[in-house]
Amino acid sequence: MLTFFAWYFSSEQVEEKIEQQFLRQANQTVELISERMRKYEDALWSGVATIHSQSYGIDYDEWFRFSSTLRLEKRYPGINGIGVIYSVEPNDLEAFLVSERKVRPDFGIFPQHDNGIYLPITYIEPVDANRKAVGLDVAHERNRLQAALAARDSGEAKITGPIVLVQDSEKTPGFLFYTPFYKEADSGLATVVERRENFVGLVYAPFIFNKLLEGTLDQSKRAIDLRIEDNGFILYDEHKEGQADSSYKKEIHVNMYGREWIFSIWSTGSFLEQNHSNQPLIILFGGIFIDSLLFALFFMISKRNQQALALASYLTKQHREKTAELEVANAELKEFSYRTSHDLRSPLVSSIGLLGFAIKSIENDKKAKALAGLSHANNSLQQLQILVEGILDLAKASHLDEPDEPVDLSLMLDDVLMKMQCMENADRIVVHKNITEGTVLTTKKFRFQLVLENLVSNAIKYQDVKKEVSWVNISTEEKDGCFILSVEDNGLGIPEDLQPQMFSMFKRFHSNVAQGSGLGLYMMKKSASILRGDMVFSNGKEGIGSKFSLIIKL
């Protein structure tokens, strides 16, 4: 029975490991495509910036020089070209054609339509591969026009739904990628009406989906296949006729510049081969072999049955104890590696910022501020030294027992806020302190301060800069035999669907706002446990902000 249990347990572990590997590869594939789309977007916005630098207009020769500097085939594999679409009112159409025909006598706009606006593809490079698209009026077709108008009204990059490019001889699915430009910088246009009135045109890129995927993903290096759909239309499909059902499947929905792309991902035979493990069978047959030997041994020494049972019981107990010790040691080793990559970083960053503050103060002949900054930097480095010593102690012993000591919370908070002054946008934060001066808590000082610093720095890093006033409220109270430290802000908050994962390792929610390792909330949760308490989150809807409460039993 033990053999079959070990076999079953091992099989479940192998299955879970394979599934995690599949999910990791699936997410990496989607992220590669998303990252490549962001890179294409950067190229389009660079075209907008170039047009702005030319007083919001650019001619054929200037666009050719700009596109040549991009080195599209080398730096942006998968893109079919980059071009300019001008917005032309019906009354201005004849003058526009006259102007363009001075350089290109054969330039024309097609096809004819009565949609009330003209959006002709005026320039496109490389022109040889896209010649059929020159002069094409994207306003003639509803799909192309809707995305163009959405980009115009929002001031953001947008893509069309699935289309077939006129320059694609194979007539496979593709799409257009738009970024708008205006008579003045988009940052000065606050409303849709203003954007429409100042709209000049679009920098765009045509994409053939098969070419996009070839430039982004090397299928020979993948062990998974995928299908990409847009509103029920298949953009790309690697499913082969007669292919058997896959063991692992995943569907991921991504908002891709105004369109919802559905990624259906499944494992291939090579994936199963790469991740196949004989461990369960080895355990099964090895266990059966050992059981057979034991059975023969017990049969042969039946007269000494009691002694044999006692010996087996002893060996089983020793085995379990060793296994438990190894599991504890392994968990401590993992904890050690994570702490060395995260806990040491905060004092270093704080010290660097304070030293920079001190240097600037010296340059500005502000000796008192410089001394204060150096003093705080010294304190931070001393804390770092204690953390390093603590980690070394952890390597030598199974537990690091930091003693409890009285902590003046008001003084500690002032010290933390002083350290945070050098953070970006720290001067925008209005800090409300609701801590009675002289409040003392007996706890593990450095662990408690680490939690406080993380909470305050998160409130500063993830503030909502779009709000006129950003604030953080720091308070303490005693309630129901517990001490409660609360840090509340009106910042970006945490998306509701991601809140169940907020205390997991390597989970980040606003990576485009600030850098980080994704271990902060995880370590705060661990630290709360070490402080004989818990970390609780409230204010659960994104946009309302965050409130974290450290609850310690007195």
Sole residue written with tokens 């929002």: 154
The predicted structure's pLDDT at residue 242: 58
- Tell me the CATH architecture of domain 402-553: 2-Layer Sandwich (3.30)
The predicted structure's pLDDT at residue 244: 60
Query: How confident is the model over 459-491, as pLDDT tens digits?
Result: 999 998 888 999 999 999 999 999 999 999 999
Count Cβ atoms below 10 Å from residue 397 Cβ, excluding itself: 10
Q: What is the pTM of this model?
A: 0.50
Whole-angstrom CA distances from 250 to 61, 244, 263 are: 48, 16, 8
Least confident of 117-121, 180-184, 199-203, 293-297: 293-297
The predicted structure's pLDDT at residue 396: 36
- Span 326-341, mean pLDDT? 56
Query: How confident is the model over 26-44, as pLDDT tens digits?
Result: 999 999 999 999 999 999 9
More confident residue, 410 or 246: 410
More confident residue, 56 or 288: 288
| Parallel/antiparallel/unpaired status of strands 429-434 and 470-479 | parallel
The predicted structure's pLDDT at residue 386: 44
More confident residue, 63 or 393: 63
Residue 335 banded pLDDT, cuts 50, 70, 90: low
What CATH number has the domain spanning 14-214? 3.30.450.350
The predicted structure's pLDDT at residue 140: 95
| Alpha-helical runs (H) found in 305-444 | 305-342, 345-363, 367-396, 409-420
Query: How confident is the model over 391-442, as pLDDT tens digits?
Result: 443 333 334 578 899 999 999 999 999 999 989 999 999 999 999 888 899 9
Query: How confident is the model over 206-236, as pLDDT tens digits?
Result: 999 999 988 777 665 667 889 999 999 999 9
**Structural element, H or E, at residue 174:** strand 174-182
Please enumerate in sequence order all residues whose Cβ is within 8 A of that of 91, keeping only pairs 6 or more positions apart, or say none.
Answer: none
Q: What whole-number distance in Å separates Cα of residue 158 and Cα of residue 85?
A: 14
Q: What whole-number distance in Å separates Cα of residue 386 and Cα of residue 314?
A: 43
Q: What is the number of helices (H) and of strands (E) in the chain? A: 15, 16
What percentage of the chain exceeds 70 in pLDDT? 84
The predicted structure's pLDDT at residue 328: 42
| Alpha-helical runs (H) found in 155-278 | 192-198, 209-216, 269-275
- Span 15-36, mean pLDDT? 91
Q: What whole-number distance in Å separates Cα of residue 436 and Cα of residue 442?
A: 16
Tell the burial category of 267 from Cβ atoms under 10 Å away from its Cβ (0-12, 13-18, 19+): buried
**pLDDT value at 118 more than 60:** yes
- Span 166-180, mean pLDDT? 94
What percentage of the chain exceeds 90 in pLDDT? 47
**pLDDT value at 185 more than 80:** no
The predicted structure's pLDDT at residue 341: 58
Query: How confident is the model over 270-317, as pLDDT tens digits?
Result: 676 766 556 666 776 776 777 677 666 567 757 786 876 777 777 778
The predicted structure's pLDDT at residue 14: 74
Tell the burial category of 508 from Cβ atoms under 10 Å away from its Cβ (0-12, 13-18, 19+): middle
Whole-angstrom CA distances from 194 to 187, 202, 487 are: 11, 16, 40
The predicted structure's pLDDT at residue 332: 45
Q: What whole-number distance in Å separates Cα of residue 461 and Cα of residue 513?
A: 8
**pLDDT value at 172 more than 50:** yes
**pLDDT value at 349 more than 80:** no
pLDDT mean across residues, the chain: 84
Least confident of 276-285, 430-439, 493-502, 535-544: 276-285
Highest mean pLDDT among 319-328, 464-473, 504-513: 464-473
More confident residue, 74 or 14: 74
φ, ψ of residue 84 to 5 degrees: the values are: -125, 135
More confident residue, 265 or 320: 265
Residue 390 banded pLDDT, cuts 50, 70, 90: very low
The answer to whether the 14-214 and 402-553 domains have the same CATH topology is no
Indicate the SS3 state at residue 186: helix
More confident residue, 351 or 159: 159
**pLDDT value at 264 more than 60:** yes
Count Cβ atoms below 10 Å from residue 95 Cβ, excluding itself: 10
Please enumerate in sequence order all residues whose Cβ is within 8 A of that of 141, keeping only pairs 6 or more positions apart, or say none.
Answer: 163
Which residues is 249 bridged to in the sheet? 266
More confident residue, 139 or 316: 139
Residue 243 banded pLDDT, cuts 50, 70, 90: low
Sole residue written with tokens 């409220």: 473
- Span 513-519, mean pLDDT? 73
Spell out the domain ranges in the chain.
Answer: 14-214, 343-401, 402-553
The predicted structure's pLDDT at residue 377: 72
